[in-house]
Amino acid sequence: MKITRNLFTLLAVAVMMLTTVTNAQAQKKPSKQKGLAKEIVATWKLDDIDIKLDESKATDDEKQQFKTLQSTRDMMKEQMKKQMRGKFSFTFNADNTYTSVSETNGEKKEGKGEWTLVGNKLSFKQDNAETDTPENFEVSIVDKKLNMKAPTRKGSNTSMIMKFVK
């Protein structure tokens, strides 16, 4: 009788310990992401590319050149979309790591690193990067698409916006 009671007590303690360990593991890494950062956590594939002119900074001549070159830019944009649509993706993880995958001419490349989001500024720091300077993008989610606006190059008033879908 005493052995049975001790065995039952030991079994009850083991079940409680197992339950505690299982609950601790289930709660180990809750996502701390909120708002836009929480929405970004997913795998996103490139769907569209757009090129915009910041008219508030452009001169009248630059605005005219932008309009004149619109058909050439549209052709280039369509060619880029054909080559890149669905062949470029980001996977943003809740632990602020990311993986990027691109495929060009049948060659697959993968990048890994860390991402941070402050307001609508998304920064990437690639593992093994040659520089410590992160890449920065303005981001938004519109119509279930992740829009990433590439930084405007110095001396340019145009920007590229990449649109990703889940």
Question: What's the mean pLDDT in 70-92?
Answer: 81
CATH number belonging to the domain at 35-165, selected among 2.40.128.280, 3.20.20.100, 3.40.50.300, 2.30.30.90: 2.40.128.280
Domain ranges for the chain = 1-30, 35-165
Which residue in this structure is represented by tokens 């289930």? 26
d(CA 94, CA 165): 18
Q: What is the pLDDT of residues 22-34, one digit of tens each?
A: 333 333 344 466 7
Answer left, alpha or beta for residue 136, where phi above 0 means left and psi between -120 and 50 means alpha: beta
- Residue 147's SS3 state is strand
Which of these, 79, 57, 58, lies nearest to 67 by C-alpha position?
58
d(CA 43, CA 104): 19
pTM over 0.75: no
pLDDT (0 to 100) of residue 68: 82
Which residue in this structure is represented by tokens 């490139």? 46
Strands 97-104 and 42-53: unpaired
d(CA 147, CA 162): 6
Q: 16 pLDDT exceeds 70?
A: no
Q: What is the mean pLDDT of the chain?
A: 77
Which of 50-64, 98-112, 127-141: highest mean pLDDT?
98-112
Q: Is residue 21 very low, low, confident or very high in pLDDT (cuts 50, 70, 90)?
A: very low
